[in-house]
Chains A and B, each alone.
Chain A
Amino acid sequence: MTVAYAPLPVDSSEAWLDALRADGARRQDAIADLHDLLLRAARFEIGRRRSALSFVRGEALEDLAVQAADDALVAVLAKLDDYRGASRFTTWAYKFALLEAGVRLRRRAWQGREVVLEPESWPNLADDGPSAQRSAEGAELLRELKRAVQEKLTPHQRDVFVALALNEVPIDVLAERLDTTRGALYKTLHDARTKLRRELAASGYLEEVS
């Protein structure tokens, strides 16, 4: 005997939850619908970031979308009881697919590239314009910043600050290389930035930016 189910209303969060918590074929159909939803979200993310991955074949990108949707599906089903109804169910579910796709895209874009923990370049902190005085002030500020990075940060804080803030290594790439998490790295970066701000303020260099 076959049983026909009405399609899930797009924005009916209750309907999604009921179906995903049901038994048998109804649940399996809901899971398939959820996978479709997550796959659309993963493809959407890949479409937005495609310019950074022009060297990756379309088939590889589609594989990446499917892997992201697969892992997002597992995460959504595992966290179903955490859904608090603060947003539509679809918006809540989308974020898992966007996270999975985004992490994969950043790592794919850096595949084979070395993560350098030494400064590749320091920004020119001189103001625009021809003033010799402003140029000298910028150079002085940069010297003070370099000194603070060397003297006030721990080796780990220095590595993280240099990689993320100076060399613009994506945080998920650094997390993978250092075998840690995005959250732990961001906390380290935040602590490093706080120390540097405090040091530059104590030296009188942050009057204009505070």
Chain B
Amino acid sequence: MSNRNEKLEALLGPTGPQVSCDECFERLDEYVELELAGADAEARVPGMRAHLEGCPACREEHDSLRALADR
């Protein structure tokens, strides 16, 4: 992807269906443990990956929960 497109994508966010912030929080623990188990977390929680790409606050919480649960 070109430099221009990366910047534009960052502004416009991901395409396709995605969960809301409330749904993200509701299922974040399940999603993280599926990831850590090597399962297809996105198949079990459709739209989570796109939301995490588009919402920096939810992404930070995902990254922290994954790091904490993996200790």
Q: Across the two chains, which residue of chain B brings its CB closest to A124?
A: B7
Task: Give the size of the chain B interface in residues (CB under 8 angstroms).
Answer: 35
Q: Evaluate contact between A190 and B68: CB separation under 8 angstroms.
A: no
**Interfacial chain B residues near A126, Cβ < 8 Å:** 4
A110 within 8 A of B: no
Interface 1/0 per residue, A103-127 and B, CB below 8 Å: 0001000000000000000011111
Given A86-B29, A197-B15, are A141 and B61 also a contact pair (CB < 8 Å)?
Answer: no
Q: Evaluate contact between B4 and A138: CB separation under 8 angstroms.
A: yes
B12 within 8 A of A: yes
Chain A residues touching B, majority SS: helix
Bound-complex Cα distance A106 to B20 (A): 20
Q: Evaluate contact between B65 and A94: CB separation under 8 angstroms.
A: yes
Q: Evaluate contact between B57 and A102: CB separation under 8 angstroms.
A: yes
Q: Among A183, A189, A210, point to the contact of B22 (Cβ < 8 A).
A: A183
Given A127-B2, A208-B2, are A189 and B13 also a contact pair (CB < 8 Å)?
Answer: yes
A26 within 8 A of B: no
Residues of B near any A CB (own CB < 8 A): 1-5, 7-13, 15, 18, 20-22, 25, 27-30, 32-33, 54-57, 60-61, 64-65, 67-69
Residues of A near any B CB (own CB < 8 A): 41, 44-45, 48-49, 86-88, 90-92, 94-95, 98-99, 102, 106, 123-128, 134, 137-138, 141, 145, 165-166, 170-172, 181-183, 186-187, 189-190, 193, 196-197, 200, 208-210
10 nearest interchain CB pairs?
Answer: A86-B30, A87-B29, A183-B21, A87-B33, A91-B29, A92-B29, A193-B13, A123-B7, A91-B69, A209-B5
